[in-house]
Structure 1
Amino acid sequence: MRDHILPQPGLGTYRLKEQAVIDSVTSALELGYRHLDSAKMYGNETAVGKAIQQSGLDRSELFLTTKIWWDQLEPEALTASVEQSLENFGVEWLDLVLIHWPSPDAQVPMADYLEALAQCRRRGLTRHIGVSNFTIAQIDEALALPGGDQIITNQIEVHPFLANRQLVEHCQAKGIEVTAYMPLAVGRVMEDATLKRIADAHDATPAQIALAWIVARDIIVIPSSTKAEHQKANLAALDIRLSDEEMREIDGLDRGERVANPDFAPVWDQ
């Protein structure tokens, strides 16, 4: 496997707010997580920042990601969004800023918002930049634009029921890391018979098997959890080694089942 810029695993914070996200981040940091994934749309940047401050960890020990919502992609609005995120978190720099979704129907030209994002990096507001929910065609378009060569990741939905193989392999072939959100398909992996059987063979849970399968594909995972025991189990999943046959069995669960598919989403590759 290649060396990753993003720490493995990260902690997702989608749908977590106020004390719930403070508690989640606090327990994760105590367990050794150092990669925190947030977004402007989540409405929890300030709470995540509070947990960071309370942890006592040095800022340099953390990898902090946020994302810019699709209605803030005009260059001035994008820059203001990044600056507001810094204020919300109470930090001097971000480690990664992502375009959360490509501009619907290309209302804002990609060249405009990628250049604005690259400018934020040049100013030192963020160490890295990336994208989320970009298709193969959009990745290729981005790479051909000024600033596109600085993209380090495409954060996309990946779990056993949505392998997203074409897009994953395309990004990796282009040198772009893939980050998997909703890696447990919002809990649906727990009910799958194949994952249960493989889990039993490893004295593990179906969630751990799902994560191990994604990690074996050289993908960063950012599962969300409010319970310390689940966060600990997610860390332990990194040590599970699946056989080639088990990998193939899980590959066979792919049915193109998307959890995140809003009306402003791009036309997916599969």
Structure 2
Amino acid sequence: MITLNNGVRIPQRGFGVFQIPPADTQRAVEQALEIGYRHIDTAAAYNNEAGVGAAVRASGLPRQELFVTTKLRNGEHGYDATLRAYDETLQRLGLDQVDLYLVHWPNPTVDLYAESWRALERVYADGRVRAIGVSNFLPEHLERLAKESDVVPAVNQIELHPTYQQRELTRLCRERSIAVEAYSPLGQGADLEHPAVTAIATAHQVTAAQVVLRWHMQLRHIIIPKSVNPGRIRENFAVDGFALSDDEMRAITELESGNRIGNDPRTFALSQIR
């Protein structure tokens, strides 16, 4: 568990549902919950919040044992629009409250992320969400929030994997007690083929994916790997039975290449509404 800056505890290992078709989401999330995941990460833009909520209800697990994260779409930025969007996301999930609500992208071309953040502050002050944060926010976006708002984001969810570590951004988050959450933690599979990773996997008799996820865990990143394959869902959860040495950690950290896989937060402006 990671303790956020407001005292809320979040499971360090989560299950992401990005690009899982709505028809497959409930089944995949139920499998993840059966394996032991207790943190599920979705977003309004994924169009599968309803499946996540259905899986939560079908699991029979006490709601307080589960941690559900979702996110605001770009096309719903602005104070009033964000408040409406949160109400609608609760309806799709079938929940009274989410545990963590994020501004999915800064979307600086419309320049409304600060207004959206103030709406999240309102929802948080009203006790309708346990924690609020951001996703894909760069230093300049975090600096603006610090100047114009009162609540420090609990989390910044960013693309982060061995070949793209965003060290300056990560360091800033740590300095401000903002937890770092890694999406695409395996580099969408590309980072698993590096000889340094495969050699470490062989030495520990584990998979390359487990090695990279263990690297994240030891760096105190929150991780949300995604898969619809039951074997891989289980494999991605089983990273407690070994530890990486300092030399092994260093070998993986040295894979940094600065190559982003996903969209650039300075320019990404799709509405995400479809």
TM-score tier after normalising by the smaller chain length: over 0.9
Give the TM-score, by structure 1 length: 0.92
Checking the alignment, whether the CA contact within 8 Å between 1:160 and 1:250 is kept in structure 2 is yes
8 Å contact from structure 2 (residues 106, 113) kept in 1: no
Q: Which residue of 1 aligns with 2:259?
A: 257
- Counterpart for residue 182 of structure 1: 184
Of the three residues 246, 252, 271, the one matched with 1:244 is 246
1:106 to partner: Cα distance: 5.2
TM-score, length-normalised on structure 2? 0.91
Match of 2:146 in 1: 143
- 8 Å CA contact 2:103, 2:113 repeated in 1: no
Which among 96, 103, 106 is matched to residue 99 of structure 1?
103
Deviation at 1:183, TM superposition (A): 0.3
1:29 equivalent among 29, 33, 41: 33
Identity among equivalent pairs (%): 36
Contact persistence 1:82–1:125 (CA under 8 A): no
| 193-202 vs 15-24, which moves further | 15-24
Question: For the structure 1 residues 186 and 213, does the alpha-carbon distance in structure 2 shift closer, same or farther, using more than 3 Å as the test?
Answer: same
1:14 aligns with 2:18: yes
Corresponding position: 1:58 with 2:65: no
Match for residue 156 of structure 1?
158
Which position in structure 2 is the counterpart of 1:81?
85
The C-alpha deviation readout for 1:136-193, integer Å capped at 9, x for no partner, is: 22212212332433x1000001111101111112101111100000001111123222
- For 2:68 and 2:108, how far apart are their aligned partners in 1? 26
Partner Cα distance (1:165, 1:109) in 2: 23
Structure 2's unaligned 5+ residue stretches are 270-274
Are the structure 2 counterparts of residues 217 and 186 from structure 1 closer, same or farther at C-alpha, using a change threshold of 3 Å? same
In the alignment, is the contact (CA less than 8 A) between 1:159 and 1:184 conserved in 2? yes
Deviation sequence 1:83-112 (CA, Å, 0-9, x none): 0110001011010100000032352251x2
SS, match of residue 20 in structure 2: coil
Q: Which amino acid is 1:204 matched to?
A: V
Helix, strand or coil: the match of 2:27? helix
**Cα deviation, residue 61, structure 1:** 1.3
What secondary structure does 1:105 align onto? coil
| Residue 17 of structure 1: how far off its partner (Å) | 2.1
Q: What SS does the aligned partner of 1:159 have? A: coil
Matched, 1:41 2:45: yes
C-alpha distance in 1 between matches for 2:21 and 2:94: 17
Residues 2 and 11, structure 2, Cα contact 8 Å, conserved in 1? no
Which has the larger displacement, 11-20 or 237-246?
Answer: 237-246
Does residue 205 of structure 1 match 2:211? no
Amino acid in the other structure paired with 2:231: E
- Cα distance in structure 2, aligned partners of 1:138 and 1:239: 38
Please, which of 215, 233, 236 is the counterpart of residue 235 of structure 2? 233
- The corresponding residue for 1:129 is 132
The answer to whether the Cα contact below 8 Å between 2:42 and 2:71 also exists between their aligned partners in 1 is yes
For this pair of structures, how many residues does the alignment match?
A: 264
Q: How far off is 1:14 after superposition?
A: 0.1
CA contact (8 A) 1:70 1:104 kept: no
DSSP-derived class of the 1:144 partner: helix
- CA-atom RMSD in angstroms: 1.8
Q: Which runs of 5+ in 1 are unaligned?
A: none
